[in-house]
Each structure stands twice: as structure tokens, then as C-alpha cells.
Structure 1
Amino acid sequence: MSTIAQPIPAAAQASRPSLAGLTRAGLADALRGVGVPEREIKMRTGQLWHWIYFHGVTSFDTMLNVSKVLRATLADHFTLARPEVTSAQVSKDGTRKWLIRMPSTGPFDKGAEIECVYIPETDRGTLCVSSQVGCTLNCSFCHTGTQRLVRNLTAQEIVQQLLVARDQLGDFPGLTPPTDGLIPSGEGVRAVSNIVFMGMGEPLYNFDQVRDAIAVLSDGEGLSLSKRRITVSTSGVVPEIANLGDQAGTMLAISLHAVRDDLRDELVPLNKKYPIKELLDACRNYPGVSNARRITFEYVMLKGVNDSPREAKELVRLLKGIPAKINLIPFNPWPGTKYECSDWETIETFSDIVFNAGYASPVRTPRGRDILAACGQLKSETEKMRARARLMLEEQLALSSD
């Protein structure tokens, strides 16, 4: 058995688009484009869907219930390629981070690069996916926010992140999991059981593509992730919150981080457009919200900034009437930041106040800090590394010419 799915050469990818990651409608259109009769479209789409998303195949030759003629036609026009993994890191705690390069979309696009993080536990594995290349929100405490927005990811590119992860983790039938870290296993346990849209970008600024990707991720005949195990985190794009509940039906997480508008304006500049009251009103009206489907409020603990007992009590007051849990996130430092993580005693005091008010208030254990894969740390360093390499080369040339 193969350890991971074998990549398709870049030259082949450039000339033939990949079907991996497409929606059902996208697969149907691809089949029409190569002359499959309309009366067969639904059946053939279902066959492709099963092979691509249940079995995770990377070759049309393995689709044994598809005719040889159609398999040859598909191979002539398409691939089942995943994006290229240009860098893979494994943290000492088992967290994995992949730098993924998407195929070029034109002569001026060398291939967008995003980061995707996998966090394993003994009984589950969570994949943190990106929805944009870069970010436009400029949250002052977030490393990812220091990278400019390049473009939105397509639904296909979002889904492909899960395909890459399952390939790398041996999470498709016939693949063998790697042995260099914790990978959940056991009867009925998948290596990737949960998805969080908490990577690069603001998901609700790419709503249509995120919604379509969720439909693929949660389809019971393929990747089959429960919508209750898919969480979309937003910094507060209020107009799209109801749409997320109505059209996607996932769990909702809110990056709150402050209880006063003046401070949140600084930490999360989007607050200037959608202040705390509007945001919380949207949460109270989120479709399907209940004690069984609580909204998660994320609160990063910043030393001397937002971590006082008074702010903990105000947080409880603000969330009154909202079925909620509060994730307290120790700040993950990154090069150049002006913030520090709150002392552990301060975090525990804050947590106790919230807990005693009746809210679950787990303190998120920092994961992947050593590979800059923890919450708020995601940012592609590739461009910086290339710039340093160019500078070193220029210096070497200058020295050699003296």
C-alpha cells in the first residue's frame, strides 16, 4: 500500500484541469464538456463523486465501474491532481502544517500559496482550512492579518485542502498513515473528523465559495463530514451570518476578543463597520442556535489589554441570552508583535468568572507554536525567504566583483 497518494506532474496539471474538489454541478458540466449524453450525466457524476471523495483516487484507471472509453476520454481532458505541497512541518506536539501551492490561473499567477494546519487528538483530528489567500482584516494581534489579501479561494481549492490532508495522513482507503506523529485511529475514527474555517482569510467575505465547499465536505456519499463538525469562524461580517445558518447550517464561531467597541476597533478593525451590539444581535438570531448548537466566542488573552476580571464580567453580561461557549486563547507570539500572552494565573481567574456565570470556558491549549501553526500565527513566509535569498545573491555578486 502507498503511504500517500502520488502527485501528478506539474506539466500535466497545467494542460489539463483537475476534477478533484469540484461540486456535483462542476463535475456534471465537465462530463457534458467531453460529450457524455445528458441521460447519463447524473449516473456518471455519482460514479465520479464516489471515486474522488469516498475512495480518494488519483487515477481514472482505478474507476472500475466506468467504461474504458470514458476513462480514456476523462484522462485526455482532466486530471485528479491535488495542489502541490511545497513544505510540510510536524510540531513536537503532533500538529502538522502544510504550505500548499495552487495551480497557476494565468500568465501572471505563479500559483497562490496558502497554509493548512492539522491538529490531532487521540479520538479526533481537526483540519484548519483557509478561505482566502492572505487576509484583508488587519487584526492587530494576528500574524495572518499582516499579509495582504491576494484573492479569494474557489470552492474547489477549499475542498482540495481536505483532499491533500487525507492523502498526507493516509485517511483514504488503501493508504497507510505516517508514523512520525499522532494520527487518530480505531474503529469508526477518521484522521480528519472536524473542519474549522480558521485559517487564512475571512470566510464570510468569500461566502458563496465557502458555502459551496461546505456542501461538498458534508455530502454523505463522499467526504461525509457532519455539519456539526464544521465550524466557520468570522470576525463579524454581520450581513452574512444569517446566510451562513440558512444556506450552510454549520456551527458558528465569533472572533470577539474585546468587550468594548473602542478596544475592539483596535484589535479587530472590522468592528468599526459592525460594532459589538450589531454582531451580538446577529448571533442571537443565528438560524438553529440552541443549547445543543451553541455559538463559540473566541477570546485571545492579551496581557494588560483585555484580560481583567472587570472585562470577564462584562463579557458574561454581553452574552446573556445567547447559547454560547467561550474559548479563551492564550496569545501565540510571532516575530514583531507588540502583544504578550496573559499570565496563566490571570487566564485562570478570567476563566473562573466566566465558568461560574454558567458558560463553558475552556482554555485552548496552544498547539504548533514551534512551527508557527498556532491560532493567529498562520502566514506564508515563502516570499520573505525568497527575498532574503535574492538579497544574499546580490551581496555575493557584489563581493565577487570587488
Structure 2
Amino acid sequence: MGLMRKRRGEWSWSERGRITAASSMAIHPFSFSSVPSTSISSPPLTTHSLFPHSFSNARSLSISAAATLQSSLSPTPAEGQENSGIPMKGSKVLLKGMRYHELEKWVQSHGYRPAQALMLWKRLYGNNIWAHYNEEMEGLNKDFKGMLAEHAEFKALHFKDMLTASDGTKKILFTLDDGLVIETVIIPCRRGRTTVCVSSQVGCAMNCQFCYTGRMGLKRNLSAAEIVEQAVFARRLLSREVGTITNVVFMGMGEPLHNIENVIKAADILVDEHGLHFSPRKVTISTSGLVPQIRRFLKESNCALAVSLNATTDEVRNWVMPINRKYNLRLLLDMLREELCLKHNYKVLFEYVMLAGVNDSIEDAKRLIELVQGIPCKINLISFNPHSGSQFKPTSEEKMIQFRNILAEAGCVIFLRLSRGDDQMAACGQLGKPGEIQAPVLKVPAKFQTAVEASA
């Protein structure tokens, strides 16, 4: 029995005003609801069950509705799994849904040596093979290949289309076995760094008001295999064209920590030293602020964490990010102060989407400085990317720079991220395709009516 292994163009400004190259990762979109899938065995939760009011009436989400909506946040078990937890696709084992030690045990259960498991693992994730088919298993024992053909499935996704933006950003559309579609974004950067932005859900349950994916509601969680294969497929398809893919960000469709079991498992597979071998610090999990799940993530994973803040008062955050009604700013930030004291040399990345007239004032900048005191962090200022039905407009570049300078003068480390891929709806908050039934647009607080009307 083998031993089990546990895996653990923009610029940045600091207090001295130095400029260093920064990653151009894509922020994840967010939203609110839940329905069944091949990876969820719990009873169906429809968008209507999570939103008592009709989506078409655009009424404000009430506090009771928010409470109902929170009940969907508990993890759901994956459907189609054996008692051992081995992921299945029909009658076959789904190879990319297993950590290495699970794959090793499965291989041994069929009478083969652990060395065969390692050879298989390297063909799935390493040696520039990234295998999708049994025919790509050169070098493996003939009988072993026959067993794989009979009992194993290599692919979890089906390539549908790829769109290329004017700045070189690429958006890949994948069809799932149940016919649903997800989107993955590849972001080439300067200095040989390329980032793959993966989705963790079909749609999203958070209903963040600035996010296009939020209009969809949540269709279902992705399995670990469906998450991992986005990165595998990106390397397989684009490594020759864009170079080595060095970073993974869980900032595509969905709220990653709403699907925490599969996200942590996928992250473990991504950083395995015998396979894809991404550095844990270059695999970033983004969240809208699910406090219990953040605690668990920080204890179980060494991957990086990004928290979408996007407001400096509960009044604004309750509006633009309804999750704040459950986990408000004080609860979220106090938890981070407490937990990060236990992690050595670890910084959280705060994401801050700048919305003109809503969260971009000088007073907001000063409040943000106070909010993050005592938290080892970096702050990512993100330009809002407009989309159909949006209530907001982007903060001007001049005002973003002014906001950045206030933070930098206070000693904060700041990244300023401009749009990438927006002409193909591949930028932050633009992924997905809402249907006829959409999550509700929440009531605008009176003090921001003027700003929103100006945007319209």
C-alpha cells in the first residue's frame, strides 16, 4: 500500500511607491440558488425555492428570503459515487476526480502495482501528455490499458467553442454531460505568466448585483474532475500557443467555497508534485465571504485566498453582495484576523470592484484602510465590466488612481487591474448566459439612486 500524501498589464503599488508587475487574474462572478445534477444527490433546490418572489418582478430580496437563501450554503454530496468516495461516470470510474492516493488504491484494487498508478497519473497530468483517451497511454502495460478501457473514463468535459478577445484573452466553452455549459478563461500576461481562470459551479447562488453570472442563479456544482479538467484542457490545448500556464484562479463561474468539498479536492490535484505541480501560492480560491467555509479552507489548504470585499459599509455590501446579510463585514474581517494569525507568511487578497458613485469615494478609501488594519493582505482594485442589464458603470481611471494613491500612502500594497477580454464577455463578472428566469435585481438604497440613474 502506497503512502498517503496530503497536499497542501497591471501594476502594484506599495507604501514606498515602487511599481512591480502583478498578476492579471480574473475575478469570479457570483449569484444565488441550487438544482440537481450528476454531482449533487440532495433534493432539488430551484431558483424559485431560493427566491420566494418571482425573478421577473425585480423586487428587493427580503431578509427572510436571504435567510432561506443561506440554507442552501451547506455542502452537498456528489451523486454517482461508490461508498468509498470514488467518482463515477455511469459504470466507469472518473479518473480526474481522484487524488493520487485514491487512484493508487483503485489501481491496486484491480490487482496492479502502485507503480502503474504513478505512471497513469503522470500521463493524465504530467510529461506534456495530459491524456484524454486510452490510446494516449503509451508505455503502460497492455493488460493495464485494457482494464482502464473497461473500467475508467478519462474525460469529464466536452469542448464546445473558443473565443479570442482583441487583447489575446481566450474564453473556452465546455459542454457537460447533462448539456449545461461552463466557461473557462485563459489570460496571457507579460513576463511569461499565463493564468487559467476556472469555474466551480454552473451559475452561482450569491446574486452579487454587479455580476452577470449572478443573473443565472445556480444550476449545479461542478465535480472535482470537471474543475481539474479545465486546467488540464487549457494546458493541452494552448501550451504551445501561450506558453506554460503558471497560475490557476478559481474566479470563473460560481462561488468556489459553496462547493468546498470538490474545490479543495480539485486544488489538491492541481498542486500534486507528480502531476500538474502548480505552486499552492499560484492557485487562488476566491470567495464572496462564506465565513465557516473560509475557516475550513484556511485550515485544510495552503492555496491562496481571495476575498471579494467590494464595499466599506454594511449598507452598501448588503445591497451589492447579499451574502453580507448573513456574514457582515465585521464578522468576516474579525475571522480573517483571527485565522491569519495562525498561518505563517500568508496574505489574503482583497478584491474590490469599483462602482462609480457607489464605493469609490475618498471616504470609502479611508474606511477601507481602517477595515483591513491588522490583516496581512494585498488589495486588488478592479475595473467594473458592464454587461446587459447592469445597474452600474465603471469608476474612471483617474478616480481609480486617486483611490489607489490614498491606500498606498497609508502603507497598503495595491494592485490595479484593468479589464481583460471584455470584448468577448470574458472579463471579471461577465461569464455565463442567464436564461428567461433570472435572479432578482435588489432595491437600490435611496442615497445611491442618483448614481445608478446616471449609469442607466
Q: TM-score range by the shorter chain?
A: 0.7 to 0.9
Provide structure 2 residue ranges, at least 5 long, that are not aligned to the other structure.
Answer: 1-88, 437-456
SS of equivalent residue, structure 1 residue 150: strand
* Equivalent-residue separation in structure 2 for 1:75 and 1:242 (angstroms): 41
SS of equivalent residue, structure 2 residue 218: coil
Task: Give the 3 Å change call, closer, same or farther, for CA 167–62 of structure 1 in structure 2.
Answer: closer
* Equivalent-residue separation in structure 2 for 1:241 and 1:112 (angstroms): 28
Q: CA deviation at 1:16?
A: 5.3
State whether structure 2 residue 339 is matched by structure 1 residue 339.
Answer: no
Contact conserved, 1:21 with 1:160, CA < 8 A, in 2?
no
The aligned counterpart of 2:147 is 73
* Equivalent-residue separation in structure 2 for 1:288 and 1:82 (angstroms): 39
Provide structure 1 residue ranges, at least 5 long, that are not aligned to the other structure.
Answer: 1-12, 104-109, 172-176, 185-189, 385-402
- Written as runs of structure 1 = structure 2, the 5 A alignment for 1:193-272 is 193-272=246-325
* Equivalent-residue separation in structure 2 for 1:69 and 1:359 (angstroms): 59
The aligned counterpart of 2:208 is 139
Task: Give the 3 Å change call, closer, same or farther, for CA 20–241 of structure 1 in structure 2.
Answer: closer
SS of equivalent residue, structure 1 residue 286: helix
The aligned counterpart of 1:399 is none
The aligned counterpart of 2:122 is 50
Contact conserved, 2:96 with 2:224, CA < 8 A, in 1?
no
The aligned counterpart of 2:157 is 83
Contact conserved, 1:20 with 1:80, CA < 8 A, in 2?
yes
Match of 1:279 among 313, 324, 332: 332
The aligned counterpart of 2:379 is 326
* Equivalent-residue separation in structure 2 for 1:120 and 1:342 (angstroms): 25
Q: Deviations over 1:313-341 (max 9, x none)?
A: 00001111111111111110001101001
Task: Give the 3 Å change call, closer, same or farther, for CA 47–57 of structure 1 in structure 2.
Answer: same
Q: CA deviation at 1:73?
A: 2.3
Contact conserved, 1:290 with 1:323, CA < 8 A, in 2?
no
* Equivalent-residue separation in structure 1 for 2:366 and 2:156 (angstroms): 48
Contact conserved, 2:340 with 2:375, CA < 8 A, in 1?
no
The aligned counterpart of 1:19 is 95
Aligned AA for 2:114? Answer: K
* Equivalent-residue separation in structure 2 for 1:47 and 1:380 (angstroms): 40
SS of equivalent residue, structure 1 residue 362: strand
Q: Deviations over 1:151-210 (max 9, x none)?
A: 1111111101111111210x3xxxxx24xxxx14xxxxx2x1111111111111111111
SS of equivalent residue, structure 1 residue 285: helix
Percent pairwise identity: 39
* Equivalent-residue separation in structure 1 for 2:139 and 2:338 (angstroms): 47
Q: CA deviation at 1:131?
A: 1.0
Aligned AA for 1:167? Answer: R
* Equivalent-residue separation in structure 2 for 1:144 and 1:61 (angstroms): 37
Q: CA deviation at 1:292?
A: 4.3
* Equivalent-residue separation in structure 2 for 1:47 and 1:292 (angstroms): 35
Task: Give the 3 Å change call, closer, same or farther, for CA 41–24 of structure 1 in structure 2.
Answer: farther
TM-score of the aligned structures, taking structure 1 as reference length: 0.81
* Equivalent-residue separation in structure 1 for 2:207 and 2:171 (angstroms): 22
Contact conserved, 1:246 with 1:287, CA < 8 A, in 2?
no
Q: Deviations over 1:265-310 (max 9, x none)?
A: 0010000000001100121133577794321111111111110001
* Equivalent-residue separation in structure 2 for 1:291 and 1:65 (angstroms): 42
SS of equivalent residue, structure 2 residue 260: helix
Q: CA deviation at 1:75?
A: 1.5
Aligned AA for 1:158? Answer: I
The aligned counterpart of 2:222 is 153
Q: Deviations over 1:85-143 (max 9, x none)?
A: 1121011101010111122xxxxxx3331111111113211111111111000001111
Contact conserved, 1:132 with 1:151, CA < 8 A, in 2?
yes
Task: Give the 3 Å change call, closer, same or farther, for CA 127–288 of structure 1 in structure 2.
Answer: farther
* Equivalent-residue separation in structure 2 for 1:127 and 1:245 (angstroms): 22
Task: Give the 3 Å change call, closer, same or farther, for CA 252–258 of structure 1 in structure 2.
Answer: same
Task: Give the 3 Å change call, closer, same or farther, for CA 255–289 of structure 1 in structure 2.
Answer: farther
State whether structure 2 residue 176 is matched by structure 1 residue 102.
Answer: yes
State whether structure 2 residue 183 is matched by structure 1 residue 115.
Answer: yes
Q: CA deviation at 1:59?
A: 3.4
> What is the number of equivalent residue pairs in this alignment?
345
